[in-house]
Structure 1
Amino acid sequence: MKCFDRHWRRALLGICLSAGLVSPSFAAESVTLNEAIEKALSQNTNVRIADETIEERAAKTRQASLLPNPEVGVEVENVLGSGPYAGADEADVTVGLSQLIETGGKRRNRIEASRLAETVATAEREAVRRRLRERVAHAFNRLLAAQRDMELANAAAARIRDLVPALRERFERGASSEADLNRGLLTLDLAEIEAQAMQREQRFAEQALLALWSEAVYRPVRAKGALDIPDAALPAFSELLSRLDDHPTVRGARQVVGQRRAAFDLEKSNASPDVTLGAGARRFTGTDESAFLFSVSIPLTVFDRNQGNIDAAASQVVQADLDAQQVRVELVRELQEVYATYSSRCSVAARLSRSVIPASEKTAAEIEEGYLRGRFGVLDLLGAQETMIDARLQATEAILACRNAYASLDSLTGPFAEGELK
C-alpha cells in the first residue's frame, strides 16, 4: 500500500503542469534577492550587535588613551591632642598634589591593544555580514523552490479534479475498471494533502526569511525571480583558495594574534614600576610660617613583577596563532566541500533541464493523449508521469543545491564572476 500511494502521489504531481491553481498571497511583499539581503543587513539583530561592539571597542580605545588623574590631598597634624595640642592652635596643615607617571610604555601599549581590539571587531562585523548574506541567499532560494513546488502541487490537484469526471465516465461505460476510478479518487485526496503540505513548506520558508530580517511576526513574503542555474563561470580551485586569505574571519584571526601580542607587551610594561611625583605646601599654624614640600615614590618590585600575567599573555599569543591556523583550515575544508557541490550539482541541474525534463514532458504528453483515446492504460499514464515528476523534483533539488553552493562560494571568496543570482 505504501508503494501504491507513492506511485500515485508522484504521478499526480506530473499530470498536465500547465493547468495551474496557485493560492493567492494576500498583501505579500515581493522581494528580489538583493532587496532581501539589503533588508537583512539593515534590520538583522546580529549586525546591529556587531555595530555596537565596534562602538564599544572604540570607546575603550578612547579610554585607554587617557592619562591617570592627578590626586589632591589635605593633611592636618598636631590637633585634638593634649597639652598645647589640645585644640588647633598648633596644627600643621599640608595641601599637596600628586601625579602618577606611567613608565615602560604602558599607555602606548594599552592604546595599541585597544586599537587592535577595535580592528578585530570590525573584521568580525564584516564576517557577520558575509555570513548573513549567505544565509539570506539560502533562505531566498528555499522560498523560490517552495513556491515552485506549491505551484506544481496546486496544478496537479486542479488537473486531477478535471480528470475525475472522465475516469467516472469511462468506468460507467465499461472502458475501465472500478479500481481505476477508485485510484483517481484516492489520487485527488493525495493531491489535496500534497498541496497543503507544500503550502506549509512555503510558509516555513517565508518565516525563515523573516527571521533573518529579525521579524518575529509572520506575514506573507514572495521571492521574486526564477529558480535558474547561476550564470557564472567557476574559476580554478587554486584561485578561490588564494582568496581565503582576505576572508574577514581569517583577517580577524590574524588581528587577534596582533592584539594578543600587544597585550603581552602591555603586561611586560606593567612590570616596570610607576613613579608618583608630589608637590605641596605646609602651613605651621603655631609659628605662622609655611614651606613647600616635594615627594617621589616608587614601588619596589620585590615580590610581584607581574610574572604570572606575562606568562599568561605569552600563552594567549600562542593560542591565538593556533586559532588563526585552525580558522583557515576549516575554511579550506568548507571551500572544498562547496566547490565540489557547485561543480557536481550545477552539472546535474543543467543536464536535467536541457535534456531529461523536455524528453520526459514529451513522453508524458504523448502517453496522456493516448490514454484519453483509449490507447494506453492507467499504469502507462502513471509510469510516464512519475518519470516526468521525478525529473522535475530532481532538477529543483539540484538547482537549489547549486544556487546555495554559489552563495556559499560568494561568502567564502567574494564575488568570482559577473554572473549572479537573481
Structure 2
Amino acid sequence: MRRLSFVVALLGTLFMYPVSATTFDLTLSEALQRTLKSNPSLKKYEFQSQAAEALTLQAGVSPNPRVGLEVENIAGSGRSAGLDNAQMTLSFSQILELGNKRQRRIQAATVEEKARQAEYEYQRIDVLAQTTQYFYQALKLQQFVELSEQQLSRTESLLRTAREREEAGAVPKSEVTRIKLQLERQKASSAELMGKLAQARARLSAMWAGGTQFKSVSGDFHFPLQLPSQAQALNAVNRAPEYLRLLDSERLLQAKVKALEADSTSDLTLGVGVRYNNQFNETGFIVEASMPLQLQNPNMGFIKERRIRHQSNLLQQKLVRAQLRSLTLALVNALQTHQNYLHKVTNSLLPLAQQLVVQVNQGYVRGTNSLLQVLDAQSELAELEYQKISRQHAIYSDIVQLERLTGQAFLGEDL
C-alpha cells in the first residue's frame, strides 16, 4: 500500500477555483488525498480517539474525600428531648485504593487508547486500498472506451471500403448492410461502456463523500512490473492488519484482567472528625478505619470471562495467520499466472493479430478475402486488446488486494 502525503497547494487550488473543479483529470494520489481527508469511515476515528483519551484521563481519577455530619440524641423523649443532650460529629474520610487499582486502570485505558489509534491505521489501509481498487477499475473502463473508439474507427474504414467495392459492383449491397449492423452493435457496446465508466467514477468519488467532480482519471498500468516473491509475501503476513488486530486485542484483554484482579482487592477507608457533646459542652476527636470483608472475589466471573476470551484470541491468532498465508500464496500464484499470460498476449498474440488484420484487409480490397474473414480478424484483434488491459488490471488489482491483506507496499510507492 502507499502511504500518501497531503498536497496542500493542490487542495488549496481546488477550493479557490470551484468553477474548474469539473474539468480536471484525477490522479491516484489526489484520489487518496481526498479519501484521507473526507472518508466517512475514517472521520469517525477522530472522535473515537478523543473518546479513548478521555477514558484514559478518567482512569487516573482517584475517589474524592467525603465529609459527613452526624447528630445524635435529638427530638426524642425524656433526656433526649430537644437539643440539650445532642451529640454532633463532623467527620472527613478518604478511600485509599489498594492493590495498584489506579495504575492498573490507567494501564488498561492506555492500551485501549493505543488499540484505537492502531485501528485507525488498519482502517486507513483498508479504505485506501478500496479507493485504489475503484481508481484502477475506472482506469480499466476508460481504456476500454478508448479501445472501443479504435474498433469503431476500423469498422468505419471497412465500411468505406465496402461501399467503394459495392459502387464498383464487386460486392452485393448486403455486404455493406452487414458491416453497418456490426458498426451499430459496436456503438451500443461503446455506450454501455460509457455507462459503466460513469458508475465507476461515481463509486470512486463516493470514497470521499463527494460528487463526480472530475472528467477522467489520469494514469496507466505500468509494465514490466516486479512482482513480490512468495518469501516476501509470506513475511509480510506477520504485519497483516487482521493479525495485528488480534495481537492488540490480546494485550487489551491482559491489561483488563490485571485491572479486574486489582479491583478485587478491598479498599481502606480512613476518617477523622470532631464530636461535640451539647450536654457537657465537651469536644473530642475521633478516628475511624473500615474495610469491606471480601468473603468472595466480586470480579471472579469477569476475570474468568476475560481469560476464556484470551484463550480464544490465542487460537484465532494461530488460525488467522495460517489462513492469511494461504490467501497470500493464492494471490502470488494468481499474479504469476496473469503475468505469464500478459507476456504471451503482448509479445506473441497481439502482433500476429495485428498482422492478420493488415493481411485480410489487403486481401479484401483485392477480392481474395471475404468480409467474414475481415470481421473475424478484427474481432480477434479487439478481443486480444481487451484481454491485455484486463490482465494488466487484474495484476494491479491482485497486488492491491495483497497490500490490503498484508498492510505492506508492493507497487514500489509508499502508502
Q: CA deviation at 1:158?
A: 4.8
Q: Secondary structure at the match of 1:191?
A: helix
| Residue equivalent to 1:387 | 380
Q: Secondary structure at the match of 2:22?
A: coil
Report the number of matched residues. Answer: 395
State the alpha-carbon separation in 2 of the partners of residues 271 and 400 from structure 1: 58
Q: Deviations over 1:289-348 (max 9, x none)?
A: 222212111111224543212211211211222222233223222211221122111222
TM-score, length-scaled by structure 1: 0.85
| Residue equivalent to 1:180 | 175
Q: CA deviation at 1:79?
A: 2.6
Contact kept in structure 2, 1:123 and 1:248, CA below 8 Å: no
Distance 1:67 1:178, change over 3 A: same
Q: Is it true that 1:147 corresponds to 2:162 in the alignment?
A: no
Range 153-162 or range 199-208, more displaced:
153-162
Distance 1:362 1:26, change over 3 A: farther
Q: CA deviation at 1:352?
A: 1.5
State the alpha-carbon separation in 2 of the partners of residues 255 and 26 from structure 1: 42
State the alpha-carbon separation in 1 of the partners of residues 315 and 359 from structure 2: 64
Q: Secondary structure at the match of 2:197?
A: helix
Q: Is it true that 1:313 corresponds to 2:345 in the alignment?
A: no
Alignment-mate amino acid for residue 225 of structure 1 = G
Q: Deviations over 1:92-115 (max 9, x none)?
A: 222222211222222222221111
Distance 1:230 1:45, change over 3 A: farther
State the alpha-carbon separation in 2 of the partners of residues 364 and 158 from structure 1: 14
Q: CA deviation at 1:398?
A: 0.7
| Residue equivalent to 1:224 | 218
Contact kept in structure 2, 1:92 and 1:282, CA below 8 Å: yes
Pick aligned residue for 1:125 from 120, 128, 138: 120
| Residue equivalent to 2:285 | 292
Contact kept in structure 2, 1:101 and 1:275, CA below 8 Å: yes
Q: CA deviation at 1:39?
A: 2.0
Q: Is it true that 1:37 corresponds to 2:32 in the alignment?
A: yes
Pick aligned residue for 2:319 from 321, 326, 334: 326
State the alpha-carbon separation in 1 of the partners of residues 246 and 401 from structure 2: 20
State the alpha-carbon separation in 2 of the partners of residues 269 and 372 from structure 1: 93
Q: Is it true that 1:206 corresponds to 2:181 in the alignment?
A: no
Q: Secondary structure at the match of 1:415?
A: coil
| Residue equivalent to 1:100 | 95
- After TM superposition, where is structure 1 displaced by more than 6 Å over at least 4 residues in a row? none
Q: Is it true that 1:62 corresponds to 2:57 in the alignment?
A: yes
Q: Secondary structure at the match of 1:345?
A: helix
Q: CA deviation at 1:169?
A: 4.7
State the alpha-carbon separation in 2 of the partners of residues 209 and 91 from structure 1: 80
- Counterparts of 1:101-116 in structure 2 under 5 Å? 101-116=96-111
Alignment-mate amino acid for residue 155 of structure 1 = Q
Contact kept in structure 2, 1:279 and 1:294, CA below 8 Å: yes
Contact kept in structure 2, 1:103 and 1:274, CA below 8 Å: yes
| Residue equivalent to 2:237 | 244
Q: CA deviation at 1:146?
A: 0.7
State the alpha-carbon separation in 2 of the partners of residues 55 and 107 from structure 1: 21
Q: Give the unaligned 5+ runs of structure 1.
A: 1-24
Q: CA deviation at 1:245?
A: 1.6
Q: CA deviation at 1:59?
A: 1.8
Contact kept in structure 2, 1:267 and 1:313, CA below 8 Å: no
Q: Deviations over 1:105-143 (max 9, x none)?
A: 222222211111122222221111112222122111111
Q: CA deviation at 1:370?
A: 3.0
| Residue equivalent to 1:364 | 357
Distance 1:26 1:348, change over 3 A: farther
Distance 1:230 1:276, change over 3 A: farther
Contact kept in structure 2, 1:116 and 1:259, CA below 8 Å: yes
Q: Secondary structure at the match of 1:128?
A: helix
| Residue equivalent to 1:196 | 191
Pick aligned residue for 1:282 from 275, 280, 291: 275
State the alpha-carbon separation in 1 of the partners of residues 414 and 358 from structure 2: 32
- Counterparts of 1:408-419 in structure 2 under 5 Å? 408-411=401-404, 412=406, 414-416=408-410, 419=412
Q: Give the unaligned 5+ runs of structure 2.
A: 1-19
**Percent of aligned positions that are identical:** 26
Q: Secondary structure at the match of 2:171?
A: coil
